[in-house]
Amino acid sequence: MSDLSFLALPHVAKLHAYTPGLQPTEPGWVKLNTNECPYGPSPRVAEALRREIGEDGASLRLYPNPKSSPLRAAIAQHHGHGLTAENVIVGNGSDDILNLLVRAFCTREAAAGFTFPSYSLYPVLVEIQDGQSSVIAFDRAMKLPLERIAASKARAFFLTSPNAPTGVAFTNAELERVLASFPGLLVVDEAYAPFAKENAVPLLASHPRLVVVRTMSKAYALAGIRVGYALAHTEIIDLLDRVRDSYNVNRLSQAAALAALGDADYYATVIAKIKATRDRAIVDLTIRRGWFAYDSSTNFIFTEPKNTLGETGPAVAKAAYDFLCAHKILVRYFPSHALTASFLRISVGTDDEMLVLADTLDTWLKTQNA
């Protein structure tokens, strides 16, 4: 064994990579662990991809549009509120956009702030840059800690809203109070906003320090195509463009995202269906079973399993997770922190998948009585 890590920068040698949710390769799993859309993308996406590839793939010889210009224009038009292409930057997934934000705004001297729990990629991106993090922990109520964000001294604060893994949304009124008291850049990661009642896009016109980050991975059923974007003041977009890879979004991804944005009716139907399934699943968990679940504005549910003795806690959550896993149902379990260790995060699947989940949880509870 050789040890080449001494050649790396010290902070890189110590790095812990982000842990993505499991992506099983064998068939037969009910996959409720990474908040993907249970339905396929608009049929226009596959058509657009075939058109882009053509008979022989000849177009792939050529580099893609370096700025994803047609897509930026379409995104601006999609959101309205006076946004233009100059208010938009597109990335290879929103993870790319989040990385650009950390690259442009965060160092050892200029901390990146975020809450716990929230999206666990933020601290990894900060560590890659050898930057400094300022972490603000929620308590069980998961209410926005406004004063602590204001006092955080972060240069950029990353707020997931609706939050992950809790599903709890923050209101525009709350975001405006943060913007009034926190002097840095407020990045609102709206990966799940299409499932929520409200979003921060209307605030952009009057708040130049606000950045709204979106992804096409969840509501648009395009996790595999890797497109995300940010909406912000033109000067912020210009700064992010300086640290972006020149060809960060490939030809096929640009074509797929454009086609998806063009089929608003299809996605309105899919999103309504997912929300209805979610609301029925929450009733099953909370009313029928008496489990606690946070009010979800997303396509997942964060719930605290209860065993037949009425007990909750990390051991109960782990037992439920293991039982589901043994029955080929994959959900997400975050054992490393007291605020999350008693909970499971369950992505909203199809109605059939949610029935399989409910039946399997019933079996789990019966097994305990035996």
Ligand X SMILES: *Cc1c(COP(=O)(O)O)cnc(C)c1O
* Residue 270 contacts residue 37 (beta carbons within 8 Å): yes
Dihedral (Cα; 148, 152, 157, 163), 10-degree rounding: -30
Q: Using the rule CB under 6 A, which residue among 199, 217, 248, 296 binds ligand X?
A: 217
Residue among 213, 209, 250, 199 at smallest CA distance from 233: 209
Q: Which two tokens stand for residue 39?
A: 């339905």
Report, in Å, the least distance between residue 156 CB and ligand X: 15
Which CB, 33 or 94, lies closer to ligand X?
94
Residue 191 as a binder of ligand X (CB under 6 A): the answer is: yes
Alpha carbon 199 to chain centroid, angstroms: 14
- How many residues bind ligand X (CB under 6 A)? The answer is 13
Which CB, 163 or 360, lies closer to ligand X?
163
Residue 33 as a binder of ligand X (CB under 6 A): the answer is: no
Distances (CA, A) of 6 to 13, 61, 131, 184, 324: 7, 39, 20, 36, 42
Which CB, 33 or 152, lies closer to ligand X?
33
Question: Using CB under 6 A, which of the segments 87-95, 175-183, 267-275, 279-287 binds ligand X?
Answer: 87-95
Residue 164 as a binder of ligand X (CB under 6 A): the answer is: yes
Question: Using CB under 6 A, which of the segments 11-19, 131-139, 212-220, 256-264 binds ligand X?
Answer: 212-220
Residue 117 as a binder of ligand X (CB under 6 A): the answer is: no
Q: Which two tokens stand for residue 263?
A: 């089929």
Cβ contacts of 35 within 8 Å, gap of 6 or more: 164, 192, 218, 298, 299, 300, 347
Helix (H) or strand (E) holding 252: helix 251-261
Residue 41 as a binder of ligand X (CB under 6 A): the answer is: no
Question: Using CB under 6 A, which of the segments 99-107, 217-225, 275-283, 327-335 binds ligand X?
Answer: 217-225
Residue 160 as a binder of ligand X (CB under 6 A): the answer is: yes
Backbone angles phi, psi at 330, to 5 degrees: -105, 120
Q: E strands, 167-253, where? A: 185-189, 210-215, 228-231
Contact letters for ligand X, residues 234-273 (x by CB under 6 A)? ----------------------------------------
Contacts (CB under 6 A) with ligand X, residues 118-147: 119
* Residues within the interface to ligand X (CB under 6 A): 93-95, 119, 160, 164, 189, 191, 215, 217-218, 223, 228
